[in-house]
Structure 1
């Protein structure tokens, strides 16, 4: 089963208490002690993010590891020269937030883009928050260019369409996505709020998950001369 969980915002990187979405990832592996690997490439392998991951998932009974391109390896990391077989051994791979454009460039340089597709096709659960959610789609709407506006970005293309994250927390994201849709700069997209996630089976949206009242995801697309935004029903999850 090919599965991708795209998280608009939340989880161990944003919440101070155990998050339902982190528990959902663990349970979705179907394993008593799942092997979960964290890729912090979008943050430049920020040690604080890596430590938070190990603390959150390690304390929940997972066998945790991480893959780092910018830091010296330690006892918790998988070696970059052995990344393909090690990633194929995982039950889940989680990608954190940060700069999507920079992460994609690093992955393509190391051939990780092709490996992630192979891992996905083999049935490993892929998950990620913010940059780690957008990266799976054909395109993302991102601030990774460090300019004053959000811009479209070509991504890995495992999932069809575009993706925007942290959607309702920043009005500029909605404004920019609608403008990009109107100009046909991005394909029809899913926009995901903080504290919401979209689960894909194969390349089809299976369900939207929410763990805060009012949080959900939206289909955003152009129809004729108008941009249509449709809120999707969300399944509430709790710890």
Structure 2
């Protein structure tokens, strides 16, 4: 921690105020919020070639021939595999960053609950995505080209569908980080990020372009990059222990 002298308290109230101020400074010094956001922005951008060029392999045997085209309710296994591996590697990198930062600053780091929550959410995302392949909230249309209008969904189905994607998994884990770091600004940022993920997760896109998915990746990547830049710019700069 910074080599600073703690002022002597003359009474219980002054002592309590001193302890609270010291706790606040320690929590601020422990924060490294910008790094997880930068890592998540990076893996989101790296997903673009996977979405564009990875072939669809019907490993779940869920595709059915419609009157005009093949209908596959399951996500592309290549995309699902990419996000699972990418998120696990991301949390390994984040854990290493926080440990290195804690050693440099002479402070312990409470990052373990966040990393555990992130890994659990990544695994849960994969499991739920596979489960929804065989138990869809709404049956897919037999011919989307003939009936492009999306079916009406209830609030519960809308919420579940929006929270099963990788961006929702990132946002929910960031809620855990906001709690670990007692970071109100990160909490507000994460709620906004989750709102974007919910809206994008429930969008139905009808396009013949092979790049139709780009907004679903570029928008959250831009939000993550802007968040990383903002938190890096306004992060505290405690004196490093010598």
- Bin for the TM-score computed over the shorter chain: under 0.3
TM-score (norm 2): 0.27
Decide which structure has greater helix share: 2
TM-score (norm 1): 0.27
Larger radius of gyration: 2
Higher RCO, 1 vs 2 (CA within 8 Å, ≥6 residues apart): 2
